[in-house]
């Protein structure tokens, strides 16, 4: 979802997203270990921390190379991701971690066939609320309007009194915060290691393109569609094919319907 | 001027071929093998990424196809050298397919699409244990009668010379000018009658062929390959960074980039141990921020500054030139 904002709305190909997600997970993890803070509250400070990190990253590293070829941004964010992942590995080690909270073992049964794991459900609910909030932020506020204006055409935006750097830095910060929050929400249901973000990162690119550039709701629906396709692939062909199918979908969408399923023609 | 450059290059390559006479140490030769291997790969990438401006991040695909081509064709009893050629053919075929789809896209979408293709290839290789050995890996035959690193080193130098010669020829040919025109402005190139799709594809095919030979050499040195070793994204980015570091779109850039990057990476591994990736990442960030045109490009800029009137040095450079912005806008469409 944060990727939808950074890549879709800002047009920044951000390869640090996975690393930010991982940082969010570690931040929540450290809070849980030191203060016993429940991850369902801990994701809030994690998001705030990541917002600051994202804001600083944009101001210090991405702003100077604005206007250069996108490839430079790709290289820069890849380098940054390497730095972050390796630092975390040096500090926390490469071990897998997992946390244990009472909620983890609870299951909710619907009918006799379907059983839902409670933490997944809670995480999903919070993510949904945040997604809706983000959607309104982008579509219904001055800030969102400014961000979209810059995405459409960066030249007249400052003429209309938009502080381009500020809006871009804020968007990047919010996008990063979304990654951090996602990390915090994933912590109860996922194991944790320094390279955990990579698998989500490429998936989020697929999601954004599938949903249509610049469309938050598109990315959300694409996320669901992708999840269903992945589960079906895992069921019939085995888990290891799921990611390959993702990429095939990605290539197909790019070549057949570059605007995405829900993308607007203007974008 | 140009001819003097080629004489210098020729002397350097001749010296490089003589290196094994002086250095017998296997470890040093292995590093030098990597240096020349990535110089050749960088030169190959440079044809597509540097001259034609199509910044591919999926060259691991061709590298891996070359490596697996050698392994799998020789497994069914074909002579290793013929297997290398078959691997190259296979790589060119896959480049045709990948190019046909990805060249229709521009800017970040092109890069993402090439990543996606390379990743699909890696995952498919991982998931077909009957054909490729899957994650367990597969054996690769030795290309040389003597199992010495020296023959590998010399063949990597030869590959670099080949890539260098191809690049030098292209740079001076009409084909090279077409590619550079495509890099500068694809729509204008199209409007003056350059068949952009065809020339982009040609540059990719040549690039893929050289990359596949490199992959086969690399695989044969290790005698055993797994998908995550020859098809990961790290290979793609390393190839691209080698060329970008030295200077994309220049003849000598990738060679210089490879010498600097590979030797630096090796030194980092020895000094910083576990932290070497951190330093490597920092190196990339520094290159992007301070040497966006690569070592050669930045040096050329400095020289130009010296030659011009001193007033130029005081002139405040515009933060973002209109040209750059225009290019960015065109790319991000």
Q: What is the pLDDT of residue B321?
A: 43
Q: Which of A202, A247, A254 sits opposite B105 (nearest CB)?
A: A254
What does each C-alpha distance from A31 to A10, A41, A42, A119 come to in angstroms? 31, 10, 7, 18
Q: Which of A69, A85, A241 sits opposite B327 (nearest CB)?
A: A69
CA distance A22 to B297: 36
pLDDT in tens, A144-184: 777 777 766 666 776 776 777 777 777 778 888 888 787 77
Q: How far is B70 from chain A (nearest CA, A)?
A: 24
pLDDT in tens, B14-64: 777 777 777 777 788 888 888 888 888 888 888 888 888 888 888 888 988
Residues of chain A with C-beta less than 8 angstroms from the C-beta of B265: none
* Nearest-by-CA chain B residue for A7: B108
Residues of chain A with C-beta less than 8 angstroms from the C-beta of B105: 254-255, 258
Q: What is the pLDDT of residue B3?
A: 73
| Domain range annotation of chain A | 2-99+116-194
CA angle (A145, A150, A154) in 5-degree steps: 155
Q: How far is B102 from chain A (nearest CA, A)?
A: 8
* Nearest-by-CA chain B residue for A267: B333
Summarize the confidence of residues B271-288 as an average pLDDT. 77
Report whether pLDDT(B105) > 50.
yes
Q: What is the pLDDT of residue B188?
A: 84
Helix (H, G, I), strand (E, B) or coil at B61: helix
Q: What is the pLDDT of residue A262?
A: 56
Of the pLDDT bands very low, low, confident and very high (cuts 50, 70, 90), residue B330 is: very low
Q: What is the pLDDT of residue B294?
A: 75
Note whether A209 contacts B: Cβ–Cβ < 8 A: yes
B97 alpha-carbon distance from chain centroid: 19
CA angle (B67, B68, B74) in 5-degree steps: 100
CA angle (A178, A127, A173) in 5-degree steps: 10
Supply the mean pLDDT for chain B: 79
Burial class (CB in 10 A: 0-12, 13-18, 19+), A80: buried
Helix (H, G, I), strand (E, B) or coil at B139: strand
Q: Could you tell me the maximum CA-CA distance found in chain B, to the nearest angstrom?
A: 69
Q: How far is B58 from chain A (nearest CA, A)?
A: 13
Summarize the confidence of residues B236-241 as an average pLDDT. 85
CA distance B211 to A141: 50
CA distance B202 to B148: 35
ipTM over 0.90: no
What does each C-alpha distance from A241 to A231, B47, B72, B84, B123 come to in angstroms? 10, 33, 22, 29, 7
Say if pTM beats, i.e. exceeds, 0.80. Answer: no
A78 contacts B113? CB cut-off 8 A = no
Residues of chain B with C-beta less than 8 angstroms from the C-beta of A154: 325, 329
Of the pLDDT bands very low, low, confident and very high (cuts 50, 70, 90), residue A267 is: very low
Q: How far is A255 from chain B (nearest CA, A)?
A: 6
Pairing of strands B224-225, A114-117: unpaired
Q: What is the pLDDT of residue A3?
A: 52
């Amino acid at each position: 979802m944060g990727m939808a904002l950074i890549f879709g709305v800002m047009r920044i190909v951000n390869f640090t997203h996975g690393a930010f997600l991982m940082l969010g997970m570690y931040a929540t993890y450290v809070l849980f270990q030191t203060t016993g803070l429940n991850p369902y509250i801990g994701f809030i400070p994690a998001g705030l921390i990541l917002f600051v990190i994202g804001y600083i990253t944009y101001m210090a590293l991405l702003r100077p190379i604005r206007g250069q070829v996108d490839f430079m941004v790709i290289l820069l964010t890849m380098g940054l991701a390497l730095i972050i992942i390796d630092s975390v590995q040096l500090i926390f080690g490469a071990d897998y971690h997992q946390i244990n909270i009472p909620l983890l073992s609870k299951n909710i049964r619907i009918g006799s066939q379907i059983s839902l794991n409670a933490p997944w459900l809670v995480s999903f609910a919070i993510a949904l609320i945040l997604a809706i909030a983000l959607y309104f932020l982008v579509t219904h506020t001055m800030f969102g309007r400014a961000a979209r204006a810059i995405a459409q055409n960066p030249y007249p935006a400052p003429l209309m009194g938009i502080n381009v750097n500020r809006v871009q830095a804020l968007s990047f910060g919010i996008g990063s915060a979304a990654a951090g929050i996602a990390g915090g929400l994933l912590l109860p249901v996922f194991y944790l290691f320094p390279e955990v973000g990579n698998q989500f990162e490429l998936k989020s690119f697929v999601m954004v393109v599938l949903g249509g550039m610049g469309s938050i709701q598109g990315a959300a629906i694409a996320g669901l569609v992708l999840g269903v396709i992945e589960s079906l692939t895992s069921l019939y062909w085995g888990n290891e094919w799921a990611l390959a199918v993702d990429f095939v979908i990605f290539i197909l969408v790019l070549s057949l319907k570059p605007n995405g399923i829900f993308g607007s023609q203007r974008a | 001027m140009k001819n003097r450059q080629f004489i210098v290059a020729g002397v350097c390559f001749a010296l490089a071929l003589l290196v094994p006479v002086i250095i017998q140490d296997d470890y040093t030769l292995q590093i030098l093998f990597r240096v020349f291997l990535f110089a050749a790969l960088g030169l190959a990438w440079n044809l597509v990424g540097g001259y034609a401006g199509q910044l591919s991040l999926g060259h691991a695909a061709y590298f891996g196809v070359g490596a697996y081509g050698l392994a799998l064709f020789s497994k069914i009893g074909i002579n290793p050298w013929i297997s290398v050629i078959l691997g190259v053919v296979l790589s060119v075929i896959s480049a045709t397919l990948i190019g046909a789809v990805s060249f229709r896209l521009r800017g970040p979408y092109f890069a993402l699409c090439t990543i996606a293709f390379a990743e699909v290839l890696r995952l498919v290789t991982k998931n077909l244990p009957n054909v490729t050995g899957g994650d367990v890996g597969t054996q690769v035959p030795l290309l040389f009668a003597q199992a010495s690193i020296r023959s590998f080193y010399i063949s990597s130098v030869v590959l670099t010379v080949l890539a260098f010669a191809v690049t030098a020829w292209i740079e001076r040919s009409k084909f090279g000018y077409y590619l550079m025109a495509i890099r500068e402005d694809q729509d204008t190139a199209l409007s003056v009658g350059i068949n952009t799709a065809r020339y982009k594809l040609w540059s990719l095919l040549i690039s893929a062929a050289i990359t596949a030979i490199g992959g086969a050499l690399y695989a044969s040195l290790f005698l055993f390959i797994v998908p995550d070793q020859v098809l990961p994204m790290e290979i793609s980015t390393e190839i691209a960074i080698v060329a970008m570091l030295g200077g994309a779109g220049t003849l000598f850039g990738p060679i210089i980039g490879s010498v600097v990057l590979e030797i630096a990476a090796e030194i980092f591994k020895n000094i910083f141990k576990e932290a070497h990736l951190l330093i490597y990442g920092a190196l990339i960030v520094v290159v992007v921020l301070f040497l966006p045109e690569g070592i050669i490009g930045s040096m050329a800029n400095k020289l130009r500054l010296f030659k011009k009137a001193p007033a130029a040095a005081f002139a405040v450079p515009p933060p973002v030139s209109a040209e750059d912005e225009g290019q960015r806008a065109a790319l991000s469409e």
